[in-house]
Chain A
Amino acid sequence: MKAALTPSEVQDPPAQKAARHRRGVREWATFLAFLAPNVLLILAFIYYPLASNIYYSMLDWRLGAASADFVGLKNYLTLFTSPTGLDMWRVTLIFTISTVVISMAIGLLLALVLNRNIPGRTFARTAVFSPYVLSGVGVGMVWNFIFDPQIGLLSHVFAFFGANSPDWYLDKNLALVMVIVVYIWKNLGYCAVVYLAGLQSIPKDLLEAAAIDHAGPVRRFFTISFPLLGPTTFFLIITTILSSMQAFDILRIMTPTGHGTNTIVFELFLQGFGVYQRAGYSAAISVVLFLALFIITTVQMRFVERKVHYA
């Protein structure tokens, strides 16, 4: 006589248990098969180089030299005490704040225009976005011709008004203004397109209801559109700060020695791969840049995001 099955055996006989176990193993194997390539790639191309860089930042190592000396935190000390080390923070700050704020402000204005039913809207949208997809090197070279005080297009504009073109390349402050202008021109389209997408996701009925309540365009913008663009603005702040702090191509092409435009990334290049070839010191700069970006992004995610209104 067969023994009576327990309630759990009725619900989960051994055959089913084994099948479920096999299915579990198969699921895990599938999970690992999908996960492993990504994890390996991340380890190989992100964590390993990051760790290598931290290690190299504690060496007195010239690029490519077979031997190096361990110097602990000396490279970091030099970075935070040398005059060039301090000046690059100032330049980076001016460059980043200017490019982020102005790109976003003008990008928003352009998006508001492009969101309206204007003739040639598609062409205008393409025209605004196209500089963003151009090569930074090409953009830098073309703008070099525009800013040239002798033969540049701008020199003719100044001449038309009876003035001489300023020496954009010789004056440190003007050189910084010049690269900021070019960088904004190139990246404006990105902010405009992202804001445009944000504007188009705002429910029309809210705007219509406000209009029925006699709210004017300015009032509708500041009380409805702009608050609802919060997530878009938040996204743009993070991405444009990250890209501005890592800008290099335009700066390098327009000012090869970093005259007035010596940002952290530029200094990193000059020290590691330019005339100095100090790989250890350059590694220390990149670790500090990494930490700065990490902190900025974390602070934004933790504190700024709380102020954002999601629709």
Chain B
Amino acid sequence: MSRTSKRFVLGASILGLATLGMSACGPSVGSDSAAETDVDYSDVEPADKITFWTNHPGGSMDIEKQIVADFKKESGIDVELVTAGANYEEVSQKFQTAQNSDEVGDMVVVSDATWFTNFANDSLLPVDKVLESAESDTSTYQETLFDDYLYEDAHYAVPYARSTPIFYYNKDHYKKAGLDDKAPATWEDVKANSEKLQEKKTAKSALSYPKEDAYPAWILGNMVWGYGGGWSSDWDMSAMTSPETVEAVQFAQDSTKDGWANVSSGVPEDDFAAGATSQVLGSTGSLAGILESADFEVGVGFLPGGPKETDKVVPTGGAGVGISAKSSPEEQLASAMFLDYLTNSENTATFSEGTGYLPVRTDADMSKVYEKTPQFEVAVDQLEKTRTQDPGRVLLPGGDTTIAKSLQKILTSDADVTEELQGAQDELQGLYDNDLPDKLKN
């Protein structure tokens, strides 16, 4: 045997032996290792210490610290605040990776687009029972916001840092173009206003859409719903190529072709605040930043409706907080007590005031916030128009990215809308078939 062959055999043997050794490590293969969720909390005493993994959404670290300190005074329970990432994706990734260790947070911030992945991996506890044991009144949560975490009759998180898109417009530009000082009610009105703004050359663009890494499927979900379409209907992805969805997306493509809208290379809200675009559909969470940066009067209004639907056209967004399925019943109970406190009517108002996120309780007193920022009232009033998002975009792992890539191609080229949406639909179906059927409880 030559020296090279000997080396090869030696290397292959080491690899082979190590591979055999793998069966003792990593995930258990072929077994269902779902965590025990049927716990009777009536005899359980809450733990003295729990951990909260968060990315401090909206720069909320100081507010979270204050709430944690107040909770300790009231309950005696120590909550360790852990910065688990810079954004929702990083927190989700860390939470998932930690599942194979004993160092998992008892509570974790989960975004509308990441919680389902954690749920599908059996990492999140259904919270209804433990919240009941913690004597939490869930009836005062904003229903749509709470139901964003509902699957198969159980909730897997409570709403926390929640937002929706709202319509921002530059009042100076509107005046210059001779437009009324109010947000357009429908997408046809948006088009009419934009053409006038374009005619008067008020800005580089009359309206800006976000690029693919800034959640265009979230923002344009409003337009698609207005036209009677959707990204999916439950787990049926064919809604993506329905005539209504195609018509809506064609309208969006025409808007960029006709020149009254563009896709922002940066962040649309920043372009708007800098006066580079006259109108934008942006998150309510950006309101404080826009008001601070803009040197013009900022107008806000409800999102426009479409030819088929004008009422329920507002997609929800942002993040909630879930409880780890791996934690002990004592820790889970203490976590439920903290979640109730974190999102009670007083704290949700404080959190809204400090961050710009929406109050998650219907009985939150927002008068102080409205006094300081009258525009915020529009965002809260708009909650009546909210609608739970389509699972194909928000629950399917990779769904949002898939739709976003297609939208960017459609909005920045002459791509055939039907063909492109068909491609996205096939990809969504592939993701679903590959990733979910075995994981979902039927």
Contact = CB atoms under 8 A, between A and B. Distances in A.
A and B interact physically: yes
Interface of A: 43, 47-48, 50-52, 54-56, 59, 61-70, 78, 82, 148-150, 167-171, 256-257, 259, 273-278
Contacts of B93: 63, 273, 277
Interface in B389-442: 397-398, 400-401, 404-405, 408, 412, 430-431, 434-435, 438-439
Contacts of B17: 51
B27 A52 contact: no
B36 to A, nearest CB: 12
A56 B113 CA distance: 26
Q: Is the interface of B mostly helix, strand, loop or mixed?
A: helix
Given A257-B404, A259-B405, A66 B28 contact: yes
Identify the 6 closest CB pairs spanning chains A and B, nearest first.
A51-B18, A64-B96, A55-B22, A64-B99, A68-B27, A66-B33
B38 interface: no
A52 to B, nearest CB: 5
Contact of B29 (A48, A59, A64, A276): A59
B22 A170 contact: no
Interface string B14-39: 11111101110111111111000000
B83 interface: no
B194 interface: no
Given A62-B121, A150-B276, A169-B211, A276 B96 contact: no
Contact of A257 (B33, B95, B271, B405): B405
Interface string B361-404: 00000000000000000000000000000000000011011001
A64 B400 contact: no
A65 B122 contact: yes
B100 interface: yes
A47 B11 CA distance: 9
Contacts of A148: 265-266
B398 A276 contact: yes
19 contacts: A50-B18, A52-B18, A56-B22, A59-B27, A62-B117, A62-B120, A62-B435, A63-B93, A65-B27, A65-B122, A66-B27, A66-B99, A67-B27, A148-B266, A167-B412, A170-B408, A170-B412, A259-B408, A275-B89
A67 B29 contact: yes
A289 to B, nearest CB: 16
Contact of A275 (B31, B274, B401): B401
Contacts of B28: 66-68
A150 B96 contact: no
B213 interface: yes
A48 B24 CA distance: 13
B195 interface: no
Interface of B: 14-19, 21-23, 25-33, 89, 92-93, 95-100, 113-114, 117, 120-123, 204, 211-213, 263, 265-266, 271, 274, 276, 397-398, 400-401, 404-405, 408, 412, 430-431, 434-435, 438-439
Contacts of B121: 62-66, 277
Nearest to A164: B204
A273 B91 CA distance: 11
A78 B274 CA distance: 45
Contacts of A48: 18, 21
Nearest to A42: B14
Nearest to B99: A64
A276 B436 CA distance: 11
Contact of A274 (B26, B89, B211, B404): B89
B117 to A, nearest CB: 6
Contacts of A51: 14-19, 21-22
A68 B23 CA distance: 12
Nearest to A68: B27
Contact of B95 (A59, A64, A69, A168): A64
B31 A67 contact: yes
B18 A66 contact: no
A63 B96 contact: yes
Nearest to A155: B265
A149 B274 CA distance: 14
Given A48-B18, A51-B15, A52-B18, A64 B100 contact: yes
Nearest to A272: B93
Given A51-B15, A51-B19, A66-B28, A170 B122 contact: no
A62 B21 CA distance: 21
B412 A171 contact: yes
A68 B14 contact: no
B438 to A, nearest CB: 7
A256 B89 CA distance: 12
A173 B285 CA distance: 33
A38 to B, nearest CB: 14
Nearest to A171: B412
A50 B17 CA distance: 12
Nearest to B19: A51
Contacts of B434: 78
Given A171-B412, A274-B89, A276-B397, A47 B27 contact: no
A243 B263 CA distance: 34
B97 A168 contact: no
Given A64-B123, A67-B27, A67-B31, A47 B95 contact: no
Contact of B397 (A67, A167, A168, A275): A275
A259 B212 CA distance: 8
Of listed A43, A54, A257, A274, residue having the most chain B CB within 10 A: A257
A64 B97 contact: yes
B89 A150 contact: no
Nearest to A147: B265
Contacts of B431: 276
A82 B431 CA distance: 12
Nearest to B426: A83
Given A51-B18, A59-B27, A259-B405, A66 B211 contact: no
A256 B215 CA distance: 12
Nearest to A149: B265
A275 B400 contact: yes
A66 B99 CA distance: 7
Of listed A64, A65, A171, A259, residue having the most chain B CB within 10 A: A64
B150 to A, nearest CB: 21
Contacts of A275: 89, 113-114, 117, 397-398, 400-401
A250 to B, nearest CB: 16
Contacts of B33: 66-67
A145 B200 CA distance: 29
Contacts of A68: 26-29
Contact of A277 (B16, B117, B408): B117
A157 to B, nearest CB: 16
Contacts of A65: 27, 96, 99, 121-123
